[in-house]
Structure 1
């Protein structure tokens, strides 16, 4: 990495930090289990992923993937409908792949977390009680029995990179596990609901739109406290709180 002009902080909070040094990303995580999951998941995933350059705990070095993010939460996406469809097709390949050997949270785990986060939002006057109650009722629809598939687990739109109309890389695999396919589709389209039709065109049959919408409410409700406590703003236009308000 000689001749590097600067070190860029990509993201940093109490749990982990990611730095960019030239074309290398350095991920520093306090939880080495997350890093171990990320490395194994990338080796198993049937979609383009970053190349592991080296791993010396607590640092994981990854090569940059080509292309640009499919979009950003809170802003419009410049990607074409075909690129969104390609993202859907990539997610389908992942969901059709053999299961990883570890499990993600169960529906029961999700229900307990939902109750705790909703109580915190109301008790601390973070969000109006009627907004929380409306979305809580919707979110319960996500916590149904599901057939486990290989999920990315944190498939933010900014974690999918495209070059033209093709997926060139999917990053940040530390939450990968066995889980609900509709959760991945919901996280990918969170705040970009108009692109759901494009994603499903690429994904193919078997999607449950009601479950996807329920996961939009769930994901937003359980994310608000974490975002606030780690220095992020879920009230930015187009972000989690706007997603919740749209359900009203």
Structure 2
């Protein structure tokens, strides 16, 4: 019998691996619904769905290995990063899903809310929070919505050599700012941005991507702390924020 591996677990959801199948258990059925629909629409490699019996979604493992992990250098080649950039470009150029995504006002309100919490709780020096709030302003501009993954962490992209073999975890997908995907993918791996954009092509705004690095790190910190993750680990969100100083 295959062993059960706990991939990630917190109060909102858990992901288990049994052999070549991942079991995603989520208390909100809307997340699985979005994931299933998004994977059916995305013009990039995605996992095969084995079955869906709420609250469990079973998907097949994808071949290859993750592009990297936050806090460690990516082992992938520049060509692999360029291939990922080309895949993300295909996604952003595809017809958008028919459900709404977050708007500019929503993003700005969440950013202000999370910055206030960080300041009130002295999670980081005030100067670090305020400087990154200034940098994040570059991301707070009207954008042309595209089909975005919404949570394109480096661990959600798999490659085999220089080929993209799968992109996983689509529960946040929908219309959104394409620069946010590029920023999330290179968060803590700023040195790989040139490789990514070599495959993505024109139209990327580096100032906006930098703004999203700060914005995502500020907004994510409270959630990470509250769910047992450590944004202060080397190379993670707090280091991203300090690097802007």
Partner of 2:23, secondary structure, is strand
1:230 corresponds to 2:227:
yes
Q: Deviations over 1:108-157 (max 9, x none)?
A: 00110000100000101111111000000111110100000000000000
1:60 corresponds to 2:60:
no
Match of 2:195 among 177, 194, 198: 198
Match of 1:157 among 137, 148, 154: 154
Report the TM-score when normalising by structure 1: 0.98
Q: Which residue of 1 is the match for residue 12 of structure 2? A: 15
Partner of 1:126, secondary structure, is coil
Partner of 1:54, secondary structure, is strand
Unaligned stretches of 5+ residues in structure 2 = none
1:111 corresponds to 2:136:
no
Distance (whole Å) between structure 2 residues aligned to residue 137 and residue 104 of structure 1: 24
Q: Deviations over 1:37-92 (max 9, x none)?
A: 00000000000000000000000000000000001001011100000000100000
Q: Following superposition of structure 1 onto structure 2, how do residues 6-155 of structure 1 map, counting pairs within 5 Å?
A: 6-155=3-152
Q: Deviations over 1:180-208 (max 9, x none)?
A: 01000000000000000000000001001
Structure 1 runs of 4+ aligned residues shifted over 6 Å read: none
Partner of 1:194, secondary structure, is helix
Distance (whole Å) between structure 1 residues aligned to residue 220 and residue 41 of structure 2: 28
Q: Which residue of 2 is the match for residue 247 of structure 1? A: 244
Unaligned stretches of 5+ residues in structure 1 = none
Report the TM-score when normalising by structure 2: 0.99
Distance (whole Å) between structure 2 residues aligned to residue 210 and residue 124 of structure 1: 29
Deviation at 1:104, TM superposition (A): 1.4
